[in-house]
């Protein structure tokens, strides 16, 4: 098979492929027009981030069977266009984990001992030992915010320095963390106990400005903060003020709210701040690893038909069965919703399918549920191929289950999630050809569209509750799109689902919680 490598991928990639009988050509820095003129001659294209594999490139790639990205991100590849053309897209997830973890550890050491600042003075022939008094790591508490692969690698490495490691990750089971000598705490307790804080979570609505004036206030005086995860998790203005006041002893950041960094960034010029230009994964070793990894994945695909690291393989396989696509969309939405309904760490997830039709697709339906679930609770690029492995990494036990038929629905998908505190269930069906509906939550039967902003709460089955909730929403200027009601007459308990037209902030929950007769309100975004 003919392979084209268009970016500066490490030479090991081409050597492995050549040794396995591939005809390899390397043409770096091709323009789009140049790539379009030659791509028709190749069956495999390997890129890093420089080459943009756009839809018009893919359109003329008549012989292309696989695009390999030597790295984790695939933003430079039009996956939808590749899928439509039946081209597999592979990446190399995890190849830069060690490099990113080591950079974070280096930043911890550097900020504790003021190494860059002292070095800069020495280059100016200034000898000032007293100014750069540092702090030992041994015996100190390191709080790890986000315990994905990188966060766990950092924790294990810093334990070797004699640090006590505690962490916050709302979706990691305690017993899984305990195996790595990490004590799981609430976010508040994690911040209160920390001498050093290192951040390794994804950026989303719940983590944006996670480190801000309010959370810094509950930290110890003299805390150190490191962020090598995502810009925007740390409020840079609040951090700058905290360092100037002495509340924060020092900080080290590899990522920023705006990149490249701008000249008016509030952290520029503050001595106790170390900054690097998003280079945590930029090591020779990481580039060698991803080059070898993508080559080995391609060989495994050709020789054994295994799609390790494939981003879109399930979509390609299901292209011949368009009738299942609405069920996959429904499954992802059910995963998104059950993740937001859960309030504690997940332990076990069951995916039930009913009916002979869905039984044929139970594996990919489970993958779709996991993708939706993990998109909410886990950092990284989640797809149908890696969803099961990533669920396993976070200690989540997953089972696929089948029942021959359901009394009410011919083809029903139910997702059951067991956490440390409770069990939740949500079920859905496709009505007609493509109308997606949630049809049950826990013990309640209720029907509504899984889209937009949704308020879900349990309430006492008595007059006036819905009216009072409506008034609370009205005061916030929120318009109700639809309402679904269900009740348990024996226990006088009800479930109410309200779909809202507008973007809703979490303060609305505080209003709803105050309504007499309402309990367990949740805001769900689908």
Digit-coded pLDDT (tens) for 406-461:
777 888 999 999 988 889 999 999 998 789 999 999 999 999 999 999 999 999 98
Alpha carbon distances (Å) from 515 to 242, 304, 473, 521: 38, 60, 11, 10
Residue 405 has pLDDT above 80, yes or no: no
Q: Is 439 in contact with 515 (CB distance < 8 Å)?
A: no
- Respond yes or no: is residue 259 known to be catalytic: yes
441 and 495 Cβ atoms separated by less than 8 Å: yes
Confidence of residue 357 (pLDDT cuts 50, 70, 90): confident
How far apart are the C-alpha atoms of 217 and 338, rounded to whole Å?
33
Given the residues 34, 80, 217, 259, the one annotated as active site: 259
Nearest to 440 by CA among 451, 428, 457: 428
Average of per-residue pLDDT across 119-132: 94
Query: What band does 73 get if pLDDT is binned at 50, 70 and 90?
Result: low
HSE toward the beta carbon, residue 146, CA cutoff 13 A? 26
Residue 67 to residue 298: CA distance in whole angstroms: 10
2-94+285-314: CATH architecture: 3-Layer(aba) Sandwich (3.40)
SS3 state of residue 41: helix
- State yes or no: is 305 an active-site residue: no
Q: Which residues contact 459 (CB under 8 A, 6 or more apart)?
A: 465, 466, 493, 494, 495, 496, 517, 518, 519
- The ranges of the chain annotated as CATH 3.30.70.260 are 453-526
Q: Which residues contact residue 293 at a Cβ distance below 8 angstroms, ignoring those fewer than 6 apart? A: 70, 92, 95, 309
Confidence class for position 319, pLDDT limits 50, 70, 90: very low
CA distance 238 to 228: 18
123 is catalytic: no
What is the DSSP code (8-state) at residue 258?
S
Rounded-to-integer distance, Cα 66 and Cα 63, Å: 9
Which of the following is catalytic: 84, 113, 278, 487? 278
Higher-scoring residue by pLDDT: 508, 135: 135
% residues pLDDT > 70 (the chain) = 98
Instruction: Report whether the peptide linkage leading into residue 260 is cis, meaning its omega lies within 30 degrees of zero.
Output: yes
**Strand pairing of 493-500 and 480-488?**
antiparallel
pLDDT value at residue 315:
58
Which of 214, 206, 253, 212 has its CA nearest to residue 231? Answer: 253
Residues 82-104: tens digit of each pLDDT: 877 878 999 987 788 899 999 99
How are the residues of the chain apportioned to helix, strand and coil, as percentages rounded to the nearest 5?
Answer: 35, 25, 40
> Given the structure tokens 């390191």, which residue do they identify?
142
Whether residue 167 contacts residue 143, with contact meaning beta carbons closer than 8 Å, is answered with yes
Mean predicted lDDT score pLDDT of the chain: 91
453-526 fold? Alpha-Beta Plaits (3.30.70)
For the chain, give the number of residues.
526
User: What tokens does 296 get?
Assistant: 């080995």
Token digits for 394?
């976070």
pLDDT of residue 320: 56
Tokens 């915010």 map to which residue?
145
Residues spanned by CATH 3.40.50.720 within the chain? 2-94+285-314, 97-275
**Pair of tokens at residue 218:** 């509950």
What mean pLDDT do residues 164-189 have?
A: 91
Maximum distance among all Cα pairs of the chain, rounded to whole angstroms? 83
- Write down the CATH number for the domain with range 97-275: 3.40.50.720
What is 321-442's CATH topology? 60s Ribosomal Protein L30; Chain: A; (3.30.1330)
Give the pLDDT score at 212. Answer: 96
- For the ranges 134-148, 194-208, 384-398, the lowest mean pLDDT is seen at 384-398
How far from 470 is each of 26, 30, 515, 526, CA to CA, in Å?
A: 64, 59, 10, 21
pTM here is 0.65
> Which pLDDT does position 225 carry in this prediction?
98
Catalytic choice (152, 230, 414, 437): 230
Residue 387 — very low, low, confident or very high, per pLDDT cuts 50/70/90? confident
What is the band of 134 on the pLDDT scale with cuts at 50, 70, 90?
very high
Considering the chain, tell me which residue range(s) the CATH 3.30.1330.90 domain(s) occupy. Answer: 321-442
Q: Model confidence over 220-259: pLDDT tens digits?
A: 999 999 999 989 999 999 999 999 999 999 999 999 999 8
């Amino acid at each position: 098979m003919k392979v084209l490598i268009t970016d500066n991928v490490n030479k090991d990639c081409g050597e492995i492929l050549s040794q396995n009988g591939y005809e390899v050509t390397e043409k770096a820095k091709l323009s789009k027009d140049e790539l379009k003129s030659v791509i028709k001659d190749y069956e495999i294209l390997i890129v890093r981030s420089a080459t943009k594999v756009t839809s018009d490139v893919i359109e003329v790639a008549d012989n292309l069977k696989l695009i390999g990205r030597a790295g984790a991100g695939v933003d430079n590849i039009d996956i939808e266009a590749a899928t439509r053309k039946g081209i597999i897209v592979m990446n190399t997830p995890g190849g830069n984990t060690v490099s990113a973890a080591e950079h974070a550890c280096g930043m911890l050491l550097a900020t504790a001992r003021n190494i860059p600042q002292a070095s800069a003075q020495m280059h100016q022939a200034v000898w000032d030992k007293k100014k750069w008094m540092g702090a030992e790591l041994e015996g100190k508490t390191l709080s790890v915010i986000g315990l994905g692969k990188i966060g766990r690698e950092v924790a294990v490495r810093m334990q070797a320095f004699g640090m006590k490691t505690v962490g916050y990750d709302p979706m990691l089971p305690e017993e899984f963390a305990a195996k790595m000598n990490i004590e799981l705490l609430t976010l508040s307790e994690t911040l209160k106990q920390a001498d050093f804080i290192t951040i390794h979570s994804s950026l989303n609505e719940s983590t944006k400005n996670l480190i801000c004036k309010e959370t810094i206030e509950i930290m110890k005086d003299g805390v150190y903060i490191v962020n090598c995860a995502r810009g925007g998790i740390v409020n840079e203005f609040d951090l700058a003020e905290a360092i100037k006041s002495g509340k924060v002893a020092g900080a080290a950041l590899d990522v920023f709210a705006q990149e490249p960094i701008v000249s008016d960034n509030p952290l520029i010029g503050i001595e106790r701040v170390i900054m690097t230009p998003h280079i945590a994964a930029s090591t020779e070793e990481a580039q060698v690893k991803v080059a070898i990894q993508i080559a080995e994945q391609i060989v495994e695909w050709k020789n054994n038909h295994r799609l390790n690291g494939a981003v879109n393989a399930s979509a390609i396989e299901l292209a011949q069965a368009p009738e299942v696509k609405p069920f996959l969309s429904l499954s992802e939405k059910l995963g998104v919703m059950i993740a937001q309904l859960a309030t504690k760490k997940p332990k076990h997830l069951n995916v039930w399918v009913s009916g002979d039709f869905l039984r044929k697709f139970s594996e990919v339906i489970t993958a779709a549920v996991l993708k939706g679930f993990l998109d909410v609770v886990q950092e990284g690029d989640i797809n149908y191929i890696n969803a099961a492995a990533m669920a396993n990494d976070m200690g989540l036990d997953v089972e696929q289950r089948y029942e021959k038929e359901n009394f009410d629905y011919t083809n029903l998908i139910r997702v059951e999630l067991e956490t440390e505190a409770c069990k939740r269930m949500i079920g859905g069906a496709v009505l007609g050809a493509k109308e997606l509906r949630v049809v049950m939550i826990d013990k309640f039967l209720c029907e509504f569209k899984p889209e937009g902003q949704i308020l879900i709460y349990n309430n006492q089955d008595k007059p006036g509750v819905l009216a009072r909730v409506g008034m609370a929403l009205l005061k916030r200027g929120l318009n109700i799109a639809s309402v679904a009601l269900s009740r348990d007459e024996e226990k006088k308990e009800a479930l109410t689902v309200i779909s809202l037209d507008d973007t809703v902030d979490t303060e609305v929950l505080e209003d709803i919680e105050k309504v007499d007769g309402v309990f367990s309100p949740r805001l769900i975004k689908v």
